[in-house]
Amino acid sequence: MKLCLFVWFLHLLLYLSWFSGSANSINGCVTKCGTTEIPYPFGIGKGCSASGFEVSCNEKSPSPVPSLFGTQFQILNISNGELQIDSTSYIATDCAHQINHTLAHITLPKEGPFTVSDASNSFMAIGCDTVAVISDDNSVTSGCVSLCTTQSSVANGSCSGAGCCESAIPKRARYLTLGASSMFGYRNVSSFSNCSYAFVVKRESFTFVEHKLQDFLETADIALTLDWAVGDLNCSTASSLACGGNSSCIDSKRGFGYLCNCSDGYAGNPYLNGSGGCQDIDECLDSELNPCVSEAQCHNEVPGYACVCPFGSTGDGTRRGSGCRKYFQILEAVLGTTLGFVIMFLCSMWFYCALKKRTLIKLKEQYFRQNGGLLLKQQVSTREGADCARIFSSEQLKQATQNYDESRILGSGGYGTVYKGNLEDGTTVAIKKSKVMDQNQIDQFINEVVILTQINHRNVVKLLGCCLETEVPMLVYEFIPNGTLHEHIHEKQSKTEISWPYRLRIATETAEALAYLHSAASMPIFHRDVKSSNILLDEHYTAKVADFGISRLVPMDQSQIPTLVQGTLGYLDPEYFQTSQLTEKSDVYSFGVVLVELLTGQRPVSYERSHENSNLAMYFLSSLKGKDLKEFLDESVMREGGAEQLRAVAELARKCLLLKGDKRPTMKEVAQELVRIADFGRQIRADDEETVEDVGSNRCLKVTDGEDVTHANLSLTYDFAR
C-alpha cells in the first residue's frame, strides 16, 4: 500500500513539473504547458487569455504539448507576433502505387488573430515528376514544378527545381489548399523516387537532401509560422489599446492589427500591467548586462543606467564608449597628438603649396599653348599694333564676374557666353567665354583677336584685352549698355522702341563700319555674320558692330575666297550658300536684311507668315512688286518717316538683296546713299511747311515737323522693270 502511494506521488510530481509555472497577473493562470512558455495574450483555461488566443494543453499526456483550436495545431514556440506550429500533418501526397492522391488543408478561423505568414514561410514540393499547387480562399493560386531524370541531377541543399522546388504563398491567408501530382501520369517515374509531396514550411528551417525523395514522410520534421496581432486596426485608429504600462504600440507587419513592445530599458510582458508587465531592467545587477568599465560606478536609473567615473577621471564610463581616463593621460595624449598633427600639417602645407605653384605654372603654360597663344603671338607679331591692349589674369576676370554668376550673363551665342564684369578700377566690361574647347574653337578665338586688333573705328566694338591662362579662352570688350538692335526691334516689351530717325542713323553707322572693314582696314575683312543681334547700341544709341568669331581677313589681291558656308538662317547670302565663295557682297546681302528689319519690324525668319513668305527677304521683294509700302512697313516707321525717304531706303534694301552679288552695291556705296537719304530727310524736316510735288503719282507731299500728312493716301509701288 505504501509503495502504491509512493508511485502515485511520483507521478503527481512529474505532472506538476510539466504543467506548472509562475503565476501571472491574470488570476494566477499557469504560463507553461510542458516545456513551452505560454505568455499572455495566450493563455490556458477560462479567463487566462485574450479573445481568440485560447490554448489547450493535454495535461494527461506524460509529455504535454500546447495546441490551438483543440488539437489541430501543436504549438512549438510563441514569440511576439509569431507562432511556430508543427506542420507534419499538413503534407499533400501523391505516389505511383496509390490510387488517390491526398490534399492538405490548413484552416484558420476567419475572424481570429492568426494568418499564415507569407514573409516567414515558403511553399515547397519534393519529387522527380512533380507539379505542386497552392491556393487560398480568394482564388490566388501559385505553384512550382520539380523534375529529375537521374539521381546525379539532384543537388543537396538546393531547391531550384531538380528534386525540390519552391514558391511563395498567398499573403495574409487563413485558408490554404495544397496539392501535388505527377506531370506525366507516372509513365516516366524514376527508379529512386515515385512519390510527390507538397507542404508549407518555415523558410530556412528545411534543408533538402537526396534521401528525402524516398523516405520523406518517415523522417519529416517540419514547422510553419503563423502571424498574429491584436485586433484588426492599427495603432493610430484603434479606440483603445491592449498594451500595458511602460510599453509602446507598433503596427503589425502583415498590414492590420497591432503588437506591443516594452519601451527601451524595460523588460517583461508588454500586454500586462503590474509585476508581470514591463519592468525596469537593472543593468547594474547583471555582470553580463553591466555596461560600465571596472573603474566606473554603475547607477541604475528608471529607465536606463549611468556610469560615473571616479574623481580625477573623465569619460562616459561605458565599455562601448570612451570609458574612464585620468586627466593627465588625456593631456599627454592630446599634446602629443596635437604636436604631431601640427608638424605633419606644416610639412604637408609646404609640400602642397610648392606642388600647387609648380602645377599652376605648368597648367597656365599648357592652357596658353592649348588656347593658341603661340599662334596668336605669331599672328600679331607680323602686324603693327596687333597686340592685345591688356592681358588679364584668370583671377581678375573671375572676381569681375563674381565667379561667372548666372545673373551676370548678357547673352549666349554660337561660340560663347558673354558676361558683364566690373574691373578693380571701376571699368565695366563685357567678357566673352567660349563654350567648348576644340581646335576649331581655338581657331575662331584667335581669328577674332587678330581681326579686332586690326580695327580702329568708332562703330566697331573695341577689344580691351584677352586671357589665355584658363581652360576656356576669354576676350574682354568695352561694355555696350543698351543691348542689341534685335532686342529693340523684336522685343519691344523689354526694350525702348527706336524711332525712325534713330533707325536710319543706326543703319548708316553700321554701313560705315562695314564699309571700313571692306575697304579702309589694313587688310580687307569680311564680317560673314551681319545681323541685328550682332549690332550693339551704347547709351547714345550709337551702333557698334560685334562678334567677329567667323569673320575672314582677305588678301589684298583677292576679291573672293572659298570657305565652308557659315552664317545665320535668314541673313545668309543665297549666292554664297550655293557657291561657297565668300565676297564683300555677302555682307551687303546680310545688311540688306537688317535694313528690311528696320523698315518692317519683322523677324528674318518667321513661321507666323505663310510658308512661302517665311523668309523676310523674299517676302519684302515680293511685296514691293504689288503692295503699297504702308501695307507691310512698321506702323511707327510709317508714322515718323518721310515718304520719299522711306521709298529711297526701301529701294536701297532691294538693291542689297539682289540675287546676283555683282549687281549689288558695295558697302561704301550703301553708306554714302544712306548719308544722302538722311541729309535729304533733315532738309525736308527743316522746312516746316514745304510742299513737295510727287511727279510720279501727281500728288503733293506736305511735311511738318515729325509728321507726314500724306502717308494715308500715298501709294509707293515699285516698278522692277526699270
Q: How confident is the model over 643-688, as pLDDT tens digits?
A: 899 999 999 999 999 999 999 999 999 999 999 998 876 666 555 4
As a residue count, the chain comes to 722
**Measured between alpha carbons, how far is 539 from 549 in angstroms, rounded to an integer?**
25
Beta-carbon count within 10 A of 626 CB = 9
485 within 8 A of 537, measured Cβ to Cβ: yes
Give the pLDDT confidence score for residue 542 in this predicted structure: 94
Alpha helices in 525-628 (DSSP H): 574-579, 584-600, 616-626
Q: DSSP state, 517?
A: I
Q: Has 529 been annotated as catalytic?
A: yes
Which is nearest to 257 in space by CA: 271, 238, 272, 244? 238
- Cα of 343 vs its chain's centroid, Å: 43
Which is nearest to 576 in space by CA: 512, 508, 664? 664
Set of cell numbers at residue 720: 522692277
**Measured between alpha carbons, how far is 572 from 589 in angstroms, rounded to an integer?**
8
**Measured between alpha carbons, how far is 125 from 219 in angstroms, rounded to an integer?**
15
Which is nearest to 527 in space by CA: 537, 516, 514, 536? 514
SS3 assignment, position 212: helix
| H or E element that contains 524 | none
pLDDT, block means (10 residues), the chain with 722 residues? 41 36 59 90 90 88 87 90 93 81 90 92 91 88 87 84 92 93 68 83 90 84 94 90 92 92 91 89 79 86 86 82 75 77 89 80 72 64 53 86 90 78 92 70 68 81 82 84 90 79 95 89 80 92 83 53 74 90 91 95 89 90 84 88 91 94 94 90 54 32 30 30 27
Phi, psi of 651 (to 5 degrees): -65, -40
**Measured between alpha carbons, how far is 145 from 161 in angstroms, rounded to an integer?**
6
Give the pLDDT confidence score for residue 717 in this predicted structure: 30
| H or E element that contains 262 | strand 258-262
CA distances to 132, 134, 189, 217, 418 from 194, in Å: 15, 21, 6, 13, 84
Chain position carrying cell 545673373: 407
β-partners of residue 704 are 707
Set of cell numbers at residue 300: 541604475
Give the pLDDT confidence score for residue 688 in this predicted structure: 42
The sign of the CA dihedral 602, 604, 607, 610 is positive
* Residue 433 assigned as binding residue: yes
Preceding peptide of 41 cis, ω within 30°? yes
Q: What is the end-to-end Cα distance of the chain in Å, rounded?
A: 153
**Measured between alpha carbons, how far is 433 from 410 in angstroms, rounded to an integer?**
11
- pLDDT tens for each residue of 492-544: 776 778 899 999 999 999 999 999 988 876 678 888 889 998 999 999 999 99
DSSP secondary structure letters along 135-175:
EETTS-EEEEEEE-SSGGG--TT--SSSSEEEE---TTBSE
418 within 8 A of 432, measured Cβ to Cβ: yes
Which of 529, 547, 573, 587 is labelled catalytic?
529
Which is nearest to 232 in space by CA: 257, 250, 260, 258? 257
